[in-house]
Structure 1
Amino acid sequence: MRTEVIVVGAGPTGLMLAYELTLAGIPVVVMEKQLTHSTQSRAGGLQPRTAEVLDLRGLLEPLLAQEPSENTTGGHFATLPVELDCRPWRTRYPHPVNVAQVRLEAHLERLLGEQGVPVLRGHEVTAVAQDAEGVTAQWHADGASDGGEVRGRYLVACDGGHSTVRRLLGVPFPGRERRMSAVAADLTLASRSETVPTERKHFSQYTRSAGGFHAILHPIGPDLYRLLFGKLSGEGPDRETPVSPDEVREALRAVYGPDTELGELRAASRFGDAVRQVERYREGRVLFAGDAAHIHMPIGGQGVNLGVQDAVNLGWKLAGTIHGWAPAGLLDSYHEERHPVAARVLRHTRAQAVIMNPGRDEELGTVRELVTELLRLPDTNRYVSGLMSGLDLRYPGVGPRLIDVDLTTEDGPTRASRLLHTGRGLLLSLDGRRRSVGHRSDRVEHVMAKTDEDVDGAGALLIRPDGYLAWTDTDGTPLDTALARWFG
């Protein structure tokens, strides 16, 4: 089997990357060792920047049409009782969007299937070898006595925190071991006490501790709950030990009383607070993205936020490299831009793990009180909301994200995000002046438009496919210089 890019892992990162490459006309094969879809909700929502990125490709609207997001509460930092306000960031999604990770994955896999992209489930990669021309991955099919191999020009490992590709290549994964063990479970309740929440609230109102356990129990659907729990001591079985119904029953009774009884345990898994990151996101013709490149304590949808943006940052750069128009260094800029972003998330998730303080240590309690007061200050809240949502992201030498303003083009009213559905770059002229993209019309579209909203005071903007400003007419840099830098 031959292709251009082998994507290992069919989680949100791998599927989003496969979609980006397909949009750019790059043949891709996705290999996933799990035979069936996970039914666990995992991340229960999308951060505002993730929602914007999906909007850039027209992917969010169909998801919201299936199940509109009714969330009107802001995000949280370390479960502290202050809503994070994203409105100062001029986003259409000032609150986290209630789209579960499992729904996003199913939607992306369905779209890839419609495009004829192979998502080979039950195919576990057993060996990876690369040379000057490409990468060969050997695989073994679930339930079969043998397997085969696939050859591509590049391979991208999106196969999670316990990445097989990373292990096969001997790539170090430095960081800190986990210091606690906890459980995430989707379940129904046969009965419940008055302490069990029945409606969506700010996340801080779901946290409880009692009987030697800490827990967060919140509704995620009709009669369906998501429970996060662990012992206050931090002790617990290793990741591979199955979560038993009796274990869940013990935690429910300890925290929510004997009147709260488990109904059905739908899905459950263990997690910890280990923090790790690969030193380089590119090893020759193998690249790393999502949890294969970085892991942290799962809190606030940060994993999905990072992974989806890894994919959208890498996709167009890898496509340009394969098509042959990428300027020197474009593919390496994936590491240069995304590695510091993940490092920052690892730092603030570590800080949150300390501040959350489920044991309510008296000294850490005073820290919680102080940080809570600080979050009530508008400037602090804006800073932290930008940090948690990803809306504040700005790469070195690149402008901020494009604000999704309302526009009027020659074809009628639209939004800025809809002009990026093709996955190409965009030259947007708002001053009535036509400009040229030269021979790059296959990778950059030029659109004339008008708007009543301010777009960084610019009359013209060059926007990268991932939605960040590569140039404006206020930069003092010639347009052609920016075009050559990003689009060859």
Structure 2
Amino acid sequence: MTRDAGEVAVVGGGPVGLMVACELALAGVAVSVFERRTERVQQSRALSLHPRSLEVLALRGLADRFMARGQRLPNGHYAVLETRLDFSVLETAFPFSLFIPQTVTEALLEERARELGVNIHRGHLITRLQQSPEEVHLEGTGGGGTFRAAARYVVGADGARSAVRTLAGIPFPGADATMSLVLGDVVLTEPLPHPALTLSSPKGVLLLAPLGDGIHHRAVVFDPERTKVPLSEPVTLEELARSVRAIAGTDFGMKTPFWLSRFGNETRHATTYREGRVFLAGDAAHVHLPAGGQGLNVGLQDAMNLGWKLVGVLRGLAPEPLLDSYQRERHPVGAHLLQNTLSQSALLHATHPEGQALRASVSKLLTLPAANRMLAEQIAAFDVAYPDPVLPAPPGMEAVPEVTGKRLPDFALRCEDGVTRRLYSLMHEGRWLMLRRPSAPHREPQAAPWGAWTSAVTAEPEGGPEELRPWQSLLVRPDGRIGYVARA
């Protein structure tokens, strides 16, 4: 049978693929999602949304849906060290990590995708991909037989074993797992000394935290006696409980496992995020130890970066080379992510006496506000900036290296009609935004054709980053980052 894939086919119906689809459909792009699973995964691989991911959702008016379903945590962790990372010092409307199961994140994004008219095809596996100068042809199995589909672009958001990446011939170099860890979602019959517990000793590293359903806790264990167990070997409750007892002196009466799994520190990075009309996002582009809960978050940010750029090109609002900026901007972020998680992997593995001394030293270092903030910004993705402009500057404006590509917090604007509005509330449609001070010369983005992709607001900022004080007009990218400025 032939499936109508629309203008973009997204392969992979997890949070990253759904986020791409939402970005596209918001602008009226016809998009279809092809997911090999027939139902959503019930186990929550990821459990948190970090500050920048919450900002990404707020930019599209979606954050409240997630806030209503999650629990705010003012800190995060680095390699399960004793000293926590303090998100409360970050300049953002979301100075916390939102504890929310991936199953809920996926359900909320699917709900939004369906509201926007996205076609979601479950039980569809892609087995063949071929590019032509104008489109990408897909073949696969699903719907009780085989199917064909064609789209102008394809986005592979189909995970670490990505069929799209393999079929497109994109290399995925890196290293196999050198150690295995265990997790379990279990019921505890004994109370924890703290709501969330982290312990490190020569016997291993333990993280225990409530899942938020009032029933289960997530236990993550690094047991130095079990690091060489093959990832394919099933985990038993007895194994998990034995490792927890060795580290904590008790297994807290764990019983009734909902999910038991073994995972490793395999680390790989696609050599390119684009091959012709095929793009990669999320785990299809980068895999790593899930340390600090960064994988899903970086994937959602990949999705927004790619989504608005595809919209611009598909709608004739921007030249095709804009799509090359996806690789330039996001590939270095992926490389930094791998460096970050490899560092945490080494600290987790440090259960010998020398390693315990190192963990203690790094934990003490994190009591220094500057060091703690540096790693908190890394985990929160606030250290990411894109200094190279993606399009030619409009007349009278310029790309300023000190600010171009930096994220903007959701600061207040006193608009010319006397109403105070938040910056992000003006960006829900996924367009560029021209902010003009009332004293500024009247300025419109005249650079054809992407001037038609821009909204304009006259307003006086109430707060906001110090480095923006000298500007008269500011052109904000659809992802809430600074594009160009006109200085006084």
Fold shared, TM-score > 0.5 on shorter chain: yes
Distance 1:182 1:356, change over 3 A: closer
- 1:461 aligned residue: 474
Verify the 8 A CA contact 1:76 1:84 in the aligned structure 2: yes
| Secondary structure in structure 2 of the residue aligned to 1:342 | helix
Verify the 8 A CA contact 1:297 1:349 in the aligned structure 2: yes
- 1:36 aligned residue: 39
Question: How many Å separate the matches in 2 of 1:242 and 1:135?
Answer: 39
Distance 1:296 1:241, change over 3 A: same
Tell me whether 405-414 or 93-102 shows the greater mean CA deviation. Answer: 405-414
Residue 390 (structure 2) pairs with residue 400 (structure 1): no
Verify the 8 A CA contact 2:154 2:277 in the aligned structure 1: yes
**Deviation at 1:135?**
0.8
- 1:479 aligned residue: none
**Deviation at 1:170?**
3.2
| Secondary structure in structure 2 of the residue aligned to 1:107 | helix
Map Cα deviations across residues 63-101 of structure 1 (whole Å, 9 max, x no partner). 212x35342x32222222223234554111222122222
Tell me whether 264-273 or 459-468 shows the greater mean CA deviation. Answer: 264-273
| Secondary structure in structure 2 of the residue aligned to 1:459 | strand
Residue 479 (structure 2) pairs with residue 452 (structure 1): no
Map Cα deviations across residues 15-65 of structure 1 (whole Å, 9 max, x no partner). 100000111211111111111111222221111111111111111112212
Residue 361 (structure 2) pairs with residue 370 (structure 1): yes
- 1:483 aligned residue: none
Verify the 8 A CA contact 2:140 2:147 in the aligned structure 1: yes
Residue 295 (structure 2) pairs with residue 295 (structure 1): no
- The alignment's C-alpha RMSD in Å is 2.2
Question: How many Å separate the matches in 1 of 2:162 and 2:371?
Answer: 37
Map Cα deviations across residues 253-288 of structure 1 (whole Å, 9 max, x no partner). 544556644432222333210111011110111111
| Secondary structure in structure 1 of the residue aligned to 2:148 | strand
Distance 1:323 1:69, change over 3 A: same
| Secondary structure in structure 2 of the residue aligned to 1:451 | strand
**Deviation at 1:316?**
0.9
| Secondary structure in structure 1 of the residue aligned to 2:292 | coil
Pick aligned residue for 1:339 from 310, 331, 334: 331
Report how many aligned residue pairs link the two structures.
Answer: 462
Pick aligned residue for 2:63 from 60, 63, 72: 60
- 1:220 aligned residue: 211
**Deviation at 1:214?**
4.0
- 2:420 aligned residue: 413
TM-score normalized by structure 1? 0.88
Identity %: 38
- 2:444 aligned residue: 436
Question: How many Å separate the matches in 2 of 1:213 and 1:83?
Answer: 18
Q: Which ranges of structure 1 fall in alignment gaps of 5 or more residues?
A: 477-488
Map Cα deviations across residues 180-215 of structure 1 (whole Å, 9 max, x no partner). 1122322223x33x6x3562x4xxx423558x6543
- 1:22 aligned residue: 25
Tell me whether 255-264 or 373-382 shows the greater mean CA deviation. Answer: 255-264
For residues 164-179 of structure 1, the aligned pairs below 5 Å read 164-179=163-178
TM-score normalized by structure 2? 0.88
Verify the 8 A CA contact 2:237 2:255 in the aligned structure 1: no
Question: How many Å separate the matches in 2 of 1:121 and 1:344?
Answer: 33
Distance 1:115 1:460, change over 3 A: same
For residues 45-444 of structure 1, the aligned pairs below 5 Å read 45-65=48-68, 67=69, 69-71=71-73, 73-141=74-142, 144=144, 146-189=145-188, 191-192=189-190, 196-197=192-193, 199=195, 201=196, 205-208=197-200, 214-221=205-212, 222-255=214-247, 260-357=252-349, 359=351, 361-397=352-388, 398-409=404-415, 410=417, 412-433=419-440, 434-438=442-446, 440=450, 442-444=452-454
Distance 1:379 1:229, change over 3 A: closer
Question: How many Å separate the matches in 1 of 2:85 and 2:204?
Answer: 27
Verify the 8 A CA contact 2:184 2:220 in the aligned structure 1: yes
Tell me whether 225-234 or 150-159 shows the greater mean CA deviation. Answer: 225-234
Distance 1:139 1:418, change over 3 A: same
Question: How many Å separate the matches in 1 of 2:208 and 2:359?
Answer: 21
